[in-house]
Homo-oligomer: A and B are copies of this chain.
Amino acid sequence: MAWEMKTDRPIYIQIVERLKMRIVSGEYPPGSKIPSVRDLAAEAGVNPNTMQKALGDLEREGLLHTQRTNGKTVTEDEQLIGKMLDSIAVEETEIYLTKLEGLGMDAGDGVNLVQRVAGSKSKYDTGEL
């Protein structure tokens, strides 16, 4: 029932990442109210304190705001969310390019691969490397 967590990194970090995903992907739209700490903790299968710590991180980054007595809401600063989205995407791209580099490939190969893989619905593609 709990989220799948790796054991090799702090749990609260992994929670931060998952919640950040929900925000930048629009699952938690700008200005909307997110579930209570208690509910989120239950959903994640972690201690509420751990969830609280994760939410604190997101608030510090400006992605969440606390409405005093009315829970927490996602920021309405869509530009900030956009930057965050961009930042995550760039990071993933850097990881991807680093892996290609380890294979002796460059960004040009990466572009080809992305286009080729995206264009193939079938399991295998006859395309040359």
A39 within 8 A of B: no
A129: chain B residues at CB < 8 Å are 82, 85-86, 89
> Known contacts A89-B109, A89-B129; is A117 also within 8 Å of B97 by CB?
yes
A107 within 8 A of B: yes
Contact with B along A81-112 (1 / 0, CB 8 A): 01001111110111111011011111101110
Docked complex Cα distance between A104 and B6 (Å): 24
- Which chain A residues in 49-107 approach chain B with CB under 8 Å? 60, 82, 85-90, 92-97, 99-100, 102-107
Are B94 and A117 in contact (CB-based, < 8 A)?
yes
A10 within 8 A of B: no
Are B93 and A114 in contact (CB-based, < 8 A)?
yes
Docked complex Cα distance between A31 and B124 (Å): 27
- Which chain A residues in 1-31 approach chain B with CB under 8 Å? 6-8, 21, 24-26
Docked complex Cα distance between A119 and B113 (Å): 17
> Known contacts A6-B8, A7-B7; is A103 also within 8 Å of B118 by CB?
no
Shortest 3 CB-CB contacts between residues of A and residues of B: A107-B118, A86-B129, A96-B96
| 4 more A-B residue pairs beyond the given contacts A7-B8, A21-B103, with a C-beta to C-beta distance below 8 A | A94-B117, A96-B114, A107-B117, A111-B111
